[in-house]
Amino acid sequence: MAASGKLLELFYDVVSPYSWLAFEVLCRYRNVWNVDLRLRPGFLGGLMNLSGNRPPAMVPLKGLYMVKDIDRLAQYCNVPLRQPSDFFGSVIEKGSLQAMRFVTAVEMKHPEFVESVSRELWMRIWSRDEDITQPESLLAAASKAGVQPQHAKELLGMISNPDVKNRLKQTTDEAAKHGAFGMPVIVVHVDGVPHMFFGSDRFELIAYLLREKWFGPVPSRNAPKL
């Protein structure tokens, strides 16, 4: 944990564009707020089932809004986020179970690569319109993230391991216990008390809770120079 004793947990799934926004903003603020940021890869599909929620894109008006919302937020947050050409096929039909099992294997075996592998998977599906379900896609993401080929193959072989499946389920269940009904979920621990925030648009409130300052999604633009 950071010297400040402040802990933030990010429960996320790479199939979620809003999770990517939250991920990048929190990574930027990790040192600005001097917090211990813990990345918690979960499975959005499982969490939706547990909570009885529906994907927003399955509601026509929400889906139309999302397209515009993502474009605006991509520019505002300086994240190269673009809608996949086949949104329904890539996001809804194929989903992210294999990808999130792969990230979970990374978390268990090589946690130092969780951030870079997660980012590269988001880049594949939400920036370059590439696959994240096939074995060769996962290996390509790991390679681009800096994972050695032999380690990447070992991680790929772990995705069918019961320990990996259970770990992913446990993390997803933990998010649900915090009251989550979708992702991203940010859990801020203050004085031993967890505070759950849903979505990628509550950073002002998180800063207030932490008694820190919010400088916008790209703090280097607006933070005062010391």
**DSSP state string for 92-158:** IIS-SHHHHHHHHHHHHH-GGGHHHHHHHHHHHHHTS---SSSHHHHHHHHHHTT--HHHHHHHHHH
Give the DSSP H or E segment for 187. strand 185-190
For residues 8 and 186, is the Cβ–Cβ distance under 8 A? Answer: yes
51: nearest Cα among 185, 187, 160, 192? 185
Distance CA 218, CA 214 (A): 10
Domains and CATH numbers, the chain: 7-222 (3.40.30.10)
Distance CA 98, CA 70 (A): 24
pTM for the whole structure: 0.93
Encode the chain (226 residues) as per-residue pLDDT tens digits: 555 679 999 999 999 999 999 999 999 999 999 999 999 999 999 999 988 887 777 777 887 888 899 999 999 999 999 999 998 888 888 999 999 999 999 999 999 999 999 999 999 999 999 999 999 999 999 999 999 999 999 999 999 999 999 999 999 999 999 999 999 999 999 988 999 999 999 999 999 999 999 999 999 876 555 4
